[in-house]
Structure formats: structure tokens, C-alpha cells
Amino acid sequence: MVGIMSQEYSGIMIYAEVHDGVIHPVTFELLGKARELAEKKGTKVLASIAGYKVKELAQELILRGADIVYLVDDERLKSLDVMAHRDAVLKIIQKAMPEAVLFGATNTGRTLAPRISSYLRTGLTADCTDLFIDEKGNLVQVRPAFSGNIFAHIVTKTRPVMSTVRYRTFKPAERDPGRKGEVIELELGNLGETGYRVLRKMEREKVNISEAEVIVAVGRGLKKKEDLQIVKELASLIGATIGASRPLVDDDWISRDHQVGFSGNIVKPKIYIALGISGSPQHVVGMKDSGTVISINIDQNAPIGEYSDYLIVGDLYEVIPKLIEQIKKIKEGNSPS
Amino acid sequence: MRPLQIIVLMKPVPDMEKVKFDTEKGTIIRESSELQINPFDLHAIELAVQIKEKVGGQVTVMSMAPLHAQEALRDAIARGCDGAILLSDKRFAGADTLATAYALASGIKKLGKFDLIIAGEKSVDGDTAQVPAEVAEFLNIPHASYVSKLIDVGDDAVRVVTEQESPYEVELKLPALLQVTKEVAKPRVPLLKDKLRARKASIEIWTAESLSDVADVKQFGFSGSPTWVAKIIVPKPKTRNKQVLKPEEGIQKIIEILKKEGLL
């Protein structure tokens, strides 16, 4: 089964991720990359969209760079029934025969893509940070390995080539209000019992740290759980999300959704302020691509320094209260009273 | 409630703290070849054992790894698993996620009856998180990914929380596969008596040939892997300025940066 190589496959397809009628922004990043790859190969950009009442979203995919949108609109796709959505995307792939299919490496993308690739007995590469066409015309998938110490270039010998692509890595495709494209609608057909039933959507109590623009992260430099209060105060003053290194999470000082690092979250904020974080490899892999990195550490030789634009050498218990005080003063000065 | 046959998929991995990467040569330096339970899989084992303790049944841990991974499987037994199966053969070597999932799914088919398969979120060395869903597809059973909580397990179905763009409570008909996050259960520390019991336990070794009645052995290992690594690139580490500042200067610098971003 493995080893299918055929000229019948053409076009770069993206999977449009939709939640509650809204297109997930990773979709536009995939469209941007797909346009670039398709132009290099002289082929079309295809989009796959499956859901309920998603017809009007197809047009948006065209304005963002899709040439043909394959659509399955069915009430049975209203909730995220993994088995039903798998069937819908399989229908689309089997009809469109794309040479590549790109998914966002979001939880949903990483849930559906391996089921589909496994069904098709084709290769799937996880969490790519780059994709390009080499001189032989192969689609090369680049993914970090060994905590980002190396990058593996992966080639797939079966078709379609399938990848999940890391969110917030590529620039989103620009919207061209005059763009034209084609929409092809497919039927979901007979589904049967999927064995998967969505009972209810729950409220997210967690923070979505991977989308934060400013992060104030704290590590072992904090002596006790109660002291998180000063970190919270600083974060709320500047509209930052609180991050934490693994030991604090393992000790239940703060929930895992705040964790930055390999076993937590990969973050890419504009500003990353690291308080009392030494900078273990497992932490650094989660934050090294941030914009400006400022660290406050008592040890001038802490490894975090190598990943920092500014290293403030001092005790966080002295620096933070002073910083808070100054920020408050500035804020009072700004207010019209 | 009826007793359940539970399978845990566990990956024996090197201790990542001890594995270093030689950026000059582009090779992995392993200070020891010892393999241990993938840390993410400890939570899968714990959940399986907790379910068994509640409803009865049996937990079997299954791995595909070299022979010296047996100690990791023994550790899984010490942590409450009843039996262990190691798929080990040079014909499994060089497998990508698809060929790995195919071998594991074949092992499960050979084992026969099962109600629930539990796997960890991802492995610390491969970091793809693809194998559990691929196994579920090979077996054509439903799976829930990023499961942060088990709500209930019954005779015919399991109810869990899956973390998607929002968390959802979902119900899966058994047999099903759960790919669980670290939040799902806190791993226990094995007691001395458990370690002693595990030392005496026998680990079944299954070769590629022994799966030939349920699988196409050509689909194992390198020959069954559609993806291959064309090149390894060792990037130059992104260097930062590391401007060292005293507290007072530092506070001014932070304020300057926050102002520039319009946060103050």
C-alpha cells in the first residue's frame, strides 16, 4: 500500500479549521504558505471545509487565496465528532486528489490528521515550522527535533504528503476582496454509528498562553506559593499572561495551562519577562522565539541569560515591588484626574 | 460494572536529561542506552490502573522497542500493570509513526479482546503525538485526543473531557482509545513490594514473524514507513545581546520597552 507515486495527484490543499462558525486563524497562515508552494509548483491552492452552515465561509477562503474550495455542509458535522469529520475530509481528499494536505498543528488538527493519514496509508509529518519545494520538486517538511537543537528535513514518498504546521509560524494570507474561485460541494453520505458523541461544550477556565502578546513567567526563584500574588499584580498592571516553569506546575502552585516549555506550551509573545527562571533546556524550547526577552535573576551566569536581550541581576523580591511602584506612578500620571 | 481489558501503549525512551546533542558533528550523544517509561505515559498507566481498581479487569502494557527496553516494561508492572508485551525485532526498526502504529495495532489484534486503549499525549524524544490516533484508525475504533479528565466509565461507553479549541465532554463507545494529557491522573510511586513483584514478572516478546497471521510484515519498520529524514540541519543558536543591567537600570529598561509597545 505504501509507495504510491502518481501524477494524478495535484494541488496543495489546506484544511480549514472551523469552531462555532469561525475560521481558526491558523487556516489563513496555511493559505499563505500553500499559495507560495503552489506558485512554485505551478499548481492550484485547494481548501477543504467541513461543518454545518459553513457555506458562506467558503468565499472567505477564496478571498484569502484558495482557487477551489471543497465543501461538505451537513448537520451531522455541527459538533466536532472526530469520526464524522474524518469521513468528511476523506471524502474531499478522495475527490480532489491533492498532492499535499496541510493542517494546523492545533489540538484539532493533530487529532484529525493522523486518523486521515492512517486511513490513506500515507505519511504525516508533525508540527512543521517550514515547508519548501526542493530542486527535484519534492515538498520538504522541516520540523524541530531534540528540543529544537536540530531541524529534520522530511520527505514523504506517498501521496498525498500530509503535514501539521505550527500555529503562528507563517504570515497569514492577505485578503483580496476581488479574488475569484470555485466552490465544489460534496455530500457526506451514509455515516452510520460513529461511536463518538459530543455531549456538551464546556467553559474554558484555562488561559491560552500560546496566544499571549506579553508574558510574565516565574520559576524556582519564587520561594512560596503565596508570593505568586506579586507576580499576578505585575501581570495585571501591564495586561500580561502569567507563565511558569515546570517545577511550579509539578508542585501544584499553578495549573499546567500556564506552563511554558516542552511539556507545557510553546509561546511566542512580543515581550517575555522571566522572573527567577534559571533556563533549563526544557523551558527554553518553549520561549526562545519570543520577541524581546527580559530576565530577572540573582545569578548573572544563569543559562536564561543566553536567551535574554536584557538580564537584570538582582533579587526578584526587591526588583518586582519597585517595578510595580514605578508602573503605578506612571499610570496615575496618565490618568486625567 | 463489568471488568475491562485495558491496553496501555508505552514508549520506552532515553532519559532526555542525559541525552545531549553534539552540534558540531550533528549526532546524538547518549551517556547511557538505558530506556525508561516516556514521562507522558506514566499518566496513561496511572489512569488505566485506576480504572482497573474501580471496575476490575486487567491492564496490559505494550511497547515496540529494542530488547533492552524490558526494564521500562518491568517498571510499568511495578506501577500496576498486570502483563507486558514487547514487540521487538530488527524488522520493526526505522519505523516512522505510521509503521509504528501499524505494528502496535497488529500486536493489539493478535492479543485479541480489548475494551480500552490508553496512550500518553506524546513522547519526549519523537514529539509527534501521532501514533495513538493512527493506532485507533488502524483498529477502526473511536478515539478522543488530549483527554484531560475521565468522567465515567461504564459497560459500553466511556465519558471524558477532550481539550480542543474549547473543552468538550464526549462519550465514546467501547472499544475506544484515549490519548491522555498529564492532567488526567497523577502517577503513583511504586512501593518496594511492587518492584519485587515486577522483578519476577515475565515479559512476552513478540517478533515481526509472530504477527504474520494478523499483519503484512513488509509494512513494519523502515520498509513500511512513507516518510524519511532527508537531512538533519543543526541551526546556529539564535543569539541575543544579554545586556547585563543593575536593578535600577533594569526597571527603567522594562518601563521603556512597555511604553514602546503601548502598554503603559
Q: Inter-chain contact A126–B238, Cβ cutoff 8 Å?
A: no
In a domain, B258, yes or no: no
In a domain, A245, yes or no: yes
Chain A residues with beta carbon closer than 8 angstroms to that of B128:
126-127
Output the nine-digit C-alpha cell for A143. Answer: 520540523
Chain B residues with beta carbon closer than 8 angstroms to that of A198:
168-170
B interface test, pick of A89, A110, A130, A313 with most B CB neighbours within 10 Å: A110
A interface test, pick of B137, B178, B186, B236 with most A CB neighbours within 10 Å: B137
Output the nine-digit C-alpha cell for B115. Answer: 475494551
Q: How many CB pairs lie under 8 A apart between chains A and B?
A: 256
**C-alpha span between A251 and A246 (Å, rounded):** 9
Chain B residues with beta carbon closer than 8 angstroms to that of A138:
230
Q: Inter-chain contact B244–A300, Cβ cutoff 8 Å?
A: yes
- How near does any CA of chain A get to the CA of B200, in Å? 32
Query: Of A186, A219, A237, which residue is a domain's last?
Result: A186
In a domain, B93, yes or no: yes
Confidence of residue B27 (pLDDT cuts 50, 70, 90): low
Q: Inter-chain contact B145–A121, Cβ cutoff 8 Å?
A: no
Report the number of distinct structural domains present in chain A: 2
Q: Inter-chain contact B130–A126, Cβ cutoff 8 Å?
A: yes
Q: How far is CA A267 from the centre of its chain?
A: 9
Output the nine-digit C-alpha cell for A265. Answer: 506550551
Residue B25 confidence (pLDDT) above 60: yes
Residues A304, A264 share a domain: yes
**C-alpha span between A25 and A48 (Å, rounded):** 15
Residues A275, A177 share a domain: no
Give me the pLDDT at residue A2, please: 45
Q: Inter-chain contact A111–B164, Cβ cutoff 8 Å?
A: yes
Residue B11 confidence (pLDDT) above 80: yes
In a domain, B243, yes or no: no
Residues B120 and B41 sit within 8 Å (Cβ to Cβ)? yes
**C-alpha span between B134 and B146 (Å, rounded):** 14
Mean pLDDT to the nearest integer, B174-189: 96
**C-alpha span between A314 and A321 (Å, rounded):** 12
DSSP bridge pairs for B232 = A152
Output the nine-digit C-alpha cell for A19. Answer: 469552531
Q: Inter-chain contact B250–A314, Cβ cutoff 8 Å?
A: yes
In a domain, B159, yes or no: yes
Residues A33, A176 share a domain: yes
**C-alpha span between B201 and B77 (Å, rounded):** 8
Report the number of distinct structural domains present in chain B: 1
Q: Inter-chain contact A122–B230, Cβ cutoff 8 Å?
A: no
Residues A317, A217 share a domain: yes
Q: What CATH number corresponds to the domain at position A239?
A: 3.40.50.1220
Residues A48, A138 share a domain: yes
Q: Which H or E run includes A195?
A: none
In a domain, A49, yes or no: yes
In a domain, B202, yes or no: yes
Kindly identify which residue of chain A lies nearest to residue B178, measuring between CA atoms. Answer: A111
**C-alpha span between B17 and A264 (Å, rounded):** 17
**C-alpha span between A98 and A95 (Å, rounded):** 9
Q: How far is CA B235 from the centre of its chain?
A: 28
- How near does any CA of chain B get to the CA of A182, in Å? 29
Chain A residues with beta carbon closer than 8 angstroms to that of B225:
2, 123
Reported ipTM: the value is 0.93
Output the nine-digit C-alpha cell for A65. Answer: 487565496
Give the SS3 label for residue A111: helix
Chain B residues with beta carbon closer than 8 angstroms to that of A239:
263
Task: Show Cβ contacts of residue A11 under 8 Å, excluding neighbours closer than 6 positions.
Answer: A38, A43, A44, A45, A46, A67, A68, A96, A97, A98, A99
In a domain, A2, yes or no: no
The secondary structure of B185-229, three-state, reads CCCCCCCHHHHHHHHHCCEEEECCHHHCCCCCHHHCCHHHCCEEE
Q: What CATH number corresponds to the domain at position B111?
A: 3.40.50.620
Chain B residues with beta carbon closer than 8 angstroms to that of A106:
165
Residues A76, A26 share a domain: yes
DSSP bridge pairs for A72 = A50, A186
- How near does any CA of chain A get to the CA of B38, in Å? 12
Chain B residues with beta carbon closer than 8 angstroms to that of A193:
173
Residues A240, A101 share a domain: no
In a domain, B252, yes or no: no
State the angle between helix axes of A82-96 and A107-120 in degrees (0 to 180), rounded to the nearest 10: 60
**C-alpha span between B97 and B2 (Å, rounded):** 33
- Count of helices and strands (H, E) across chain B: 6, 15
Task: Show Cβ contacts of residue B156 under 8 Å, excluding neighbours closer than 6 positions.
Answer: B173, B174
Chain B residues with beta carbon closer than 8 angstroms to that of A212:
none
Kindly identify which residue of chain A lies nearest to residue B231, measuring between CA atoms. Answer: A153
Residues B6 and B114 sit within 8 Å (Cβ to Cβ)? yes
Residues A165, A277 share a domain: no
- Mean of the per-residue pLDDT values of chain B: 94
Kindly identify which residue of chain A lies nearest to residue B222, measuring between CA atoms. Answer: A2
For residue B180, give its domain range: 4-224
Q: Inter-chain contact A82–B225, Cβ cutoff 8 Å?
A: no
Residue B8 confidence (pLDDT) above 70: yes
**C-alpha span between A193 and B177 (Å, rounded):** 17
B39-52 pLDDT per residue, tens: 999 999 999 999 99
Whole-prediction pTM? 0.91
Chain B residues with beta carbon closer than 8 angstroms to that of A155:
227-228, 230
Output the nine-digit C-alpha cell for A336. Answer: 486625567
For residue A145, give its domain range: 12-186
Nearest alpha-carbon partner for A50 in A18, A98, A82: A18
Task: Show Cβ contacts of residue B147 under 8 Å, excluding neighbours closer than 6 positions.
Answer: B160, B161, B162, B163, B178, B179, B180, B181, B184
How is residue A269 annotated by DSSP? Answer: -
Nearest alpha-carbon partner for B128 in A185, A163, A49: A163
Give the SS3 label for residue B49: helix
Output the nine-digit C-alpha cell for A106. Answer: 492545533
Output the nine-digit C-alpha cell for A179. Answer: 479574488
Chain B residues with beta carbon closer than 8 angstroms to that of A330:
255, 264
In a domain, A99, yes or no: yes
**C-alpha span between A114 and A109 (Å, rounded):** 9
**C-alpha span between A298 and A316 (Å, rounded):** 8
Give the SS3 label for residue B242: coil
Mean pLDDT to the nearest integer, B129-146: 98
Q: Inter-chain contact B176–A195, Cβ cutoff 8 Å?
A: yes
- How near does any CA of chain A get to the CA of B97, in Å? 8
Kindly identify which residue of chain B lies nearest to residue A198, measuring between CA atoms. Answer: B170
Q: What CATH number corresponds to the domain at position A58?
A: 3.40.50.620
Higher pLDDT, B66 or A256: B66
* Of A150, A155, A262, Cβ closest to residue B21: A150
Residues A214, A152 share a domain: no
Give me the pLDDT at residue B84, please: 98
Give me the pLDDT at residue A1, please: 41
Residue B78 confidence (pLDDT) above 90: yes
Mean pLDDT to the nearest integer, B66-81: 97
Q: Inter-chain contact B166–A306, Cβ cutoff 8 Å?
A: no
Kindly identify which residue of chain B lies nearest to residue A85, measuring between CA atoms. Answer: B142
Chain A residues with beta carbon closer than 8 angstroms to that of B183:
256
Give me the pLDDT at residue B123, please: 94
Q: What is the DSSP string of B15-45?
A: -TTTEEEETTTTEEEES---EEE-HHHHHHH
pLDDT digit string (tens) for chain A, length 337 residues: 444 455 589 999 999 999 999 999 999 999 999 999 999 999 999 999 999 999 999 999 999 999 999 999 999 999 999 999 999 999 999 999 999 999 999 999 999 999 999 999 999 999 999 999 999 999 999 999 877 778 999 999 999 999 999 998 999 999 999 999 999 999 999 988 999 999 999 988 778 898 899 999 999 999 999 999 999 999 999 999 999 999 999 899 999 889 999 888 889 999 999 999 999 988 998 999 899 999 999 999 999 999 999 999 999 999 999 999 999 999 888 776 5
**C-alpha span between A276 and A315 (Å, rounded):** 8
